[in-house]
Amino acid sequence: MSARDNILARIRKNSGREGLTTGLELSQVRTHIARQERGPQPSIARDNPVARFIQESDRLKSTVAEVDRLADVPQAAAAYLKQNALESAVVGWPSLSGLDWAAAGITYENRLACGEDMVGITDCFCGIGETGTLLLLSSPTTPKLHALLPETHLCVLSKARIVHTMEDAFQLVRTERGELPRATFFVSGPSRTADIEQTIVIGAHGPYRVHIILTP
């Protein structure tokens, strides 16, 4: 028995159940999940999702820029890097490698991020207006390292991919992907913690900066 199986067996035993999970129990769980019941929704959840996303991003200390076309993303990224005195060498996802980064003076490398990389660029599955959160799904072509390892995370997000609530985001995943990938992670502003003496520390477990470039 694996360590995982051992832990689950102990949980099951302490719940007053013996033996392996039955087919009936699995069916009941799947039926419950399939119902996809939602709890109460806040009234603000139906505001303009894009405007709400921008407002919440500001509250979370993410910065936001808007461009008219996807092709304008490299210039917007270059302006942000220059404004913050950051180097123009970045590592990013394959989905964005076809943009004209060189014309914007940016060296764009399509590879896994490593500890020496200061700026990572990604897109994302969707944005959540209610909380100003980015939802990223892992895959071989969308590794999470680019969003978590560099000190600065630049994320490209289409305004058409901003939904109202987290429930809407999960429904979109079900509709478009069928099931969740191995890793699903949310980015709500720069990494922060208050574990030490209740003092906020930025960049404790991830990027110091999160900059979102909104496209149509």
pLDDT single digits (tens) 165-200: 999 999 999 899 988 888 898 999 887 666 666 666
What's residue 64's pLDDT?
98
Mean pLDDT of 47-54: 92
* pLDDT classification of 205: cutoffs 50, 70, 90: low
Decide if 40 is inside a domain. no
Q: How far apart are CA 145 and CA 139, in angstroms?
A: 11
Mean pLDDT of 52-74: 96
Calculate the dihedral angle through the C-alpha atoms of 129, 135, 141, 144, rounding to the nearest 10 degrees.
Answer: 130
Same domain, yes or no: 10 and 67: no
Predicted structure pTM score: 0.80
Decide if 42 is inside a domain. no
Q: Using DSSP, state whether 127 is helix, strand or coil.
A: strand
Domain that holds residue 187: 47-215
pLDDT top residue among 46 and 166:
166
**The two three-digit tokens of residue 40, written as one number:** 């109460």
Mean pLDDT of 99-113: 96
What's residue 29's pLDDT?
85
Number of domains in the chain: 2
* pLDDT classification of 123: cutoffs 50, 70, 90: very high
Same domain, yes or no: 30 and 63: no
